[in-house]
Amino acid sequence: MRPTVIDIRTLCFRYNGVPVLNEVDLIVREGDFLAVIGPNGGGKTTLLKLMLGLLIPASGSIRIFDRPPQAVSHRIGYVPQDVNINTRFPVSVLDVVLMGRLRPGRSLLRHTASDRARAAEMLDRVEMADLRNRRIGALSGGQKQRVMVARALAGEPDILFLDEPTASIDAKGQGEFHRLLKELNRSITILVVSHDLMVVSGFANSVACVNQSLHYHDKAEVTADMIDMMYRCAHDESCPVELVSHGVPHRVLRRHGDVGHD
């Protein structure tokens, strides 16, 4: 059996006393490609921040590589949801990727030959080497996300977390980005928080549905039962999920207890 890289037990979290996550259990193994899905406000990003060590649980435990998240931050690569970059700031693509080589106590201005070689290698891996000297603010949304992935990989992580990585990318770019993640998954564990179930249907090999509680599915298959279980929308509301079938998106509805496609 593959080694466990994330082990979460009876995790609870509250914002100002309001429950956000309740009794969450999750095991992620080395080499997994896990998609974390769920409605807005269901706790997906909160769970990710807890795994990053940016938030502290109210109760329960999180172990990453059998240690607290804060103790293994150097083994975790993170691509945030919002890539807020001042388009006027004269920083190059290579400079951004080199930021991934920073460690506590190291100067931002002192990069070794090894740092530069690793950054160049990761830019090549995400097919951005030709733009290494381009100003980051001049890139498209999809190109910026590739640079952010290269920055995360520059730190030589063992697991990669991504929060809604295709939110600012057009449809063509999304497909290309997902294929990049699938290629990266050959050598690194990946966890993606997403509303885009194209990730689930075509790329992820397991799914965690989060809506305060968590239901884990070891196959990347979105079923009517899964939607009915996790998306507890009102009877006259549509669930915030898009299923992709043969390349055609369908909106999933739940009306009067039934689940279907419109």
pLDDT tens for residues 193-248?
987 766 777 788 888 889 899 988 887 665 655 555 555 543 334 344 433 333 33
Which structural domains are found in the chain, ordered by start?
A: 4-222 (3.40.50.300), 226-262 (no CATH)
Q: How far apart are CA 242 and CA 221, in angstroms?
A: 13
pLDDT at 253 over 60: no
The more confident residue out of 158 and 241 is: 158
pLDDT at 86 over 50: yes
Within a 10 A sphere around the Cβ of 145, how many other Cβ atoms?
24
Paired strand residues for 11: 24
Read off the tokens for 72.
């293994």
Paired strand residues for 251: 242
Residues 123, 151: contact at Cβ < 8 Å? no
Q: How far apart are CA 251 and CA 238, in angstroms?
A: 7
Residues 21, 47: contact at Cβ < 8 Å? yes
Paired strand residues for 217: 207
Q: With cut-offs at 50, 70 and 90, classify the pLDDT of residue 104.
A: low
pLDDT at 93: 93
Q: With cut-offs at 50, 70 and 90, classify the pLDDT of residue 254.
A: very low
The percentage of residues in the chain with a pLDDT greater than 90, rounded to a whole number, is: 48
pLDDT at 202: 75
Q: What is the largest CA-CA distance in the chain?
A: 63
pLDDT at 75: 93
Among 10-19, 179-188, 224-233, 244-253, the least confident range = 244-253
Instruction: Give me the mean pLDDT over the 161-171 stretch.
Output: 83
Q: Give start and end residues of each alpha helix (H) in the chain.
A: 44-52, 93-98, 113-125, 141-154, 171-184, 198-202, 224-230
Whole-model pTM?
0.80
Angle, in degrees to the nearest 10, between helices 141-154 and 171-184:
20
The more confident residue out of 244 and 36 is: 36
Within a 10 A sphere around the Cβ of 98, how many other Cβ atoms?
20
Residues 154, 101: contact at Cβ < 8 Å? yes
**Helix (H) or strand (E) segment spanning residue 13:** strand 4-15
Instruction: Give me the mean pLDDT over the 19-42 stretch.
Output: 92
156: left (phi over 0), alpha (psi -120 to 50) or beta: left
Beta strand 159-163 pairing with 76-79: parallel
Average pLDDT along the chain: 81
Among 27-31, 123-127, 145-149, 245-249, the least confident range = 245-249
The more confident residue out of 174 and 185 is: 185
Instruction: Give me the mean pLDDT over the 180-193 stretch.
Output: 93
